[in-house]
Structure 1
Amino acid sequence: MEGYKMKKMLKVVSIVLCAAMLLMTGCSGNSGTAPASNAAPAADAAPAASGDAPAAEAITLKVGHIYSATHNEALWLEELGKRLEEASGGRLKLSIFGGGQLGTEREMAEQILLGTLDMGVSGGSTWANALNAPSLSALELPFLYKDIDGQKKVMDEVVLDFAEPVMVESGVRPLFCFSASIRGALTTTKPIKSLADISGIKMRVPENNVYVQTWTLLGANATALSWSEAYTSLSQSVVDGVEADPSTLVDANLQEVGKYYSQTNHMGTIHIVGINEAKWQSIPADLQEIFIKTTQEVSSLQVEDRKVTDQAAMDKMAEAGVEIVDVSVEEYNKMAAAVQPLYDEFDAEYGVGDVISKIRELGTAA
């Protein structure tokens, strides 16, 4: 009897053990292999590769500029953002604030220096003022560039090599360039066909010493005003003329109030896109490579597009009744000779005579 009871008890124990084994097998999931004995609890397991790891996090750079949404450089910054995001698989993005939302051009350059803004677009003279590096203004001396093709040569061979050591020392790295075209003069009182025609004209110029000196040496009454005041000052005859490139003039609708656009080609502006140096150093090396390659592509495309944009702007001015005025080579050379003191001054103060000579050689070559 007792043997029978023992057998029955063993049978019950066997059934219980089998049930327990089946339950354990069910909890182990669909895997056919048992978990390692030293496996961590599920809550402590490493996260799946879902983009949360630092190396895969998207880097979004805050970019500021002063242009309207339809301006050439604004459009190419947007294109740069798209290309960077695509080339990096979504790891690099630009967050762009245009139209001066973040301040004036100089204010944004200063924000980049402080690190409150990552990137921005400015000419050499603006960077010079913001970074207290006056030699950078040499890039915007008058009569250095005959046309946009000449500008492109200088962009490729001079600008970054010249600007990088100066800017990086101040805390901003120059990344690439845009052509801001070649400037002419939109006037209301008379066309400018010769150096003599400039005498006494009240010309609105940027709030920058190089521009003031240039127009003063040419014989004008240079009036430094912010760009936001250009339309009002010309329409109300506070000034007789506004100097800028065709695209920028039309972007501000100045063809509505101007009568003559004289192709003085007195100043070519190359815009440098700069980034806060500490921010740049925080970007992984592989993304830096993607950034450099992509910006080089976009820079070249922008230069070619700028020619098309400027011609379209000239056509729009003509359609609005603005007379397009050519300046002869002889008169152009007279104007260039009149500003020679500026070259001499920059060489004496900053020792940039060789750089100026190289820029002029490349920028004015046939």
Structure 2
Amino acid sequence: MRLSRGYLFLTKLSVFALSAVLIIGLVSCGGKTKSAATGGNGEKIVLRLAEAQPDNYPDTIAEKAFAQMVKERTNGRIEIQVYAGGQLGDEKTTIEQAQVGAIDIGRANSGPMTQVEKKFGIFSFPFLFKDRDHLWRVLDGEVGNQLLKSLEAHNMVGLAFYDTGARNFYTTKPVRTLADLKGMKIRVMQNDILVKAFNLLGASATPLSAAEVYSALQTGVIDGGENNFSTYVSDGHYEVAKYYTLSGHLRIPQVLFMSKASWDKLSPEDQQIIKQAAKDSEKVQIQEYDKFEKMSEDKVKAKGNQIIALPDQELQAFRDKEQPLYDEYKAEFGDFFTKIAAAAK
């Protein structure tokens, strides 16, 4: 299931223009149905949810399930309309619109969330989680609740987390050991922590925008990148980087959130219904993501690419190399490091 490259190359200008037109149209719509900003007294409430991914993506499927749950649990009184495919803007735009109340609900990766709340930078540290179960123990526990709660200071309410799988290395020549990574130019997100992290592994961290990666792999400007199975396939990088090493170095969850302006207009009972339905939608998203990732993995195997598993001893060598990074950021993230490590036991 490959997303079209045309979709991925939408210009920021066109997204912003389309977003503005749709928001104006939605806000100006008349009729008896009211938004959260004006709903009350038993009148029907309509909430707008912005999603950058297309209709058939796991996140969108989960959000539609969330909307259905809310509808059923309020006997149709609250309707959540899901606008998928970036109709209301990209993730960064969605965050900004939620902060000012232009949209009611949105979803964004933890990466862009760091622009409004630095605590989400905790997910930039490689090998922070032993596995997926460890991640979800953290997200369902004190740390996850603290992160969601932190958004209230930025005019948003955190509702739930969604999964994005594990990020692994993909390269134009095989990486079977830490030594193999030495000197390789690896594309990283434009994030200071990640640049330091990959340099500590002996690679030459190369920040590039996502749009530049395919051609950079083709021309040898970089030797590889890192991402989950589904993005490795949907961005077409599996066509030009034939080796996929299961390092599992990053697990970066997504956040489902609501505009605090919209939230504050709801009754406590409705707030609880929405929060519980959002939490329940996590299970749907995880199931859909697993199916989506399995299809991507099957495509990689059908293409003849090599999927390389690392033995535990080699993975530990990768983890050990990152200790100086944890030492450097201990003052800022040390409390999180301690709580997350405790959740692994």
Normalising by the smaller structure, the TM-score range is 0.7 to 0.9
Is the counterpart of residue 138 in structure 1 residue 122 in structure 2? yes
Matched with 1:41 is none
8 Å contact kept, 1:135–1:346: no
Aligned residues with identical type, % of pairs = 28
Q: Give the structure-2-normalised TM-score.
A: 0.81
Q: Provide the rounded CA distance (Å) in 2 between the counterparts of 1:55 and 1:336.
A: 56
2:65 is paired with a residue whose SS is: helix
1:262 Cα deviation (Å)?
0.7
Higher gyration radius (CA): 1
User: Of 172, 182, 203, which aligns to 2:156?
Assistant: 172
Alpha-carbon distance between aligned partners in 1 of 2:98 and 2:224, rounded to the nearest angstrom: 32
Count of residues in correspondence between the two structures:
310
The residue aligned with 2:341 is 360
1:112 aligns with 2:98: yes
Give, in whole Å, the separation in 1 of the partners of 2:105 and 2:284: 20
Paired AA for residue 94 in structure 1 = I
Given the two structures, how large is their TM-score scaled by the length of structure 1?
0.77
Question: Separation in 2 of the partners of 1:353 and 1:173?
Answer: 25
Distance verdict in 2 for CA 1:106–1:342, change over 3 Å? farther
Change (3 A) 1:208 1:51: closer
Matches within 5 A, 1:104-253: 104-129=90-115, 131=116, 133-188=117-172, 190-253=173-236
Q: 1:75 aligns with which of 55, 61, 66?
A: 61
**Higher deviation after alignment, 253-262 or 331-340:** 253-262
> Would you say the 8 A contact 1:128–1:136 is kept in 2?
yes
The one-letter code of the counterpart of 1:122 is A
Q: Is the 8 A contact 2:45 2:78 kept in 1?
A: yes
Q: CA deviation at 1:357?
A: 2.3
- Residues in 2 aligned to 1:69 and 1:238: alpha-carbon distance in whole angstroms: 34
Q: Retained in 2: the 8 A contact 1:151–1:179? A: no
Residue by residue, what CA displacement relative to the aligned partner does 1:52-105 show, whole Å, maximum 9, x if unpaired?
A: 984333333332333233332232222222322232222223333334444443
Q: Secondary structure at the match of 1:160?
A: helix
CA RMSD between the two structures: 2.4
Deviation at 1:261, TM superposition (A): 0.9
Q: Structure 2 stretches of 5 or more lacking a match?
A: 1-31
* Alpha-carbon shift at residue 165 of structure 1 (Å): 4.0
- Shift in Å, 1:304: 4.0
Q: Indicate if the aligned counterparts of 1:260 and 1:325 stay in contact, CA closer than 8 A.
A: yes
Given that 2:66 and 2:280 are in contact with CA atoms closer than 8 Å, whether structure 1 keeps it comes out as no
Query: 1:323: Cα distance to partner?
Result: 0.9
Give me the whole-angstrom Cα distance separating, in 1, the residues matched to 2:86 and 2:229.
Answer: 20
Q: CA deviation at 1:361?
A: 3.7
Partners of 2:61 and 2:288 within 8 A in 1:
no
Determine the C-alpha separation between the residues in 1 that align with 2:215 and 2:133.
Answer: 33
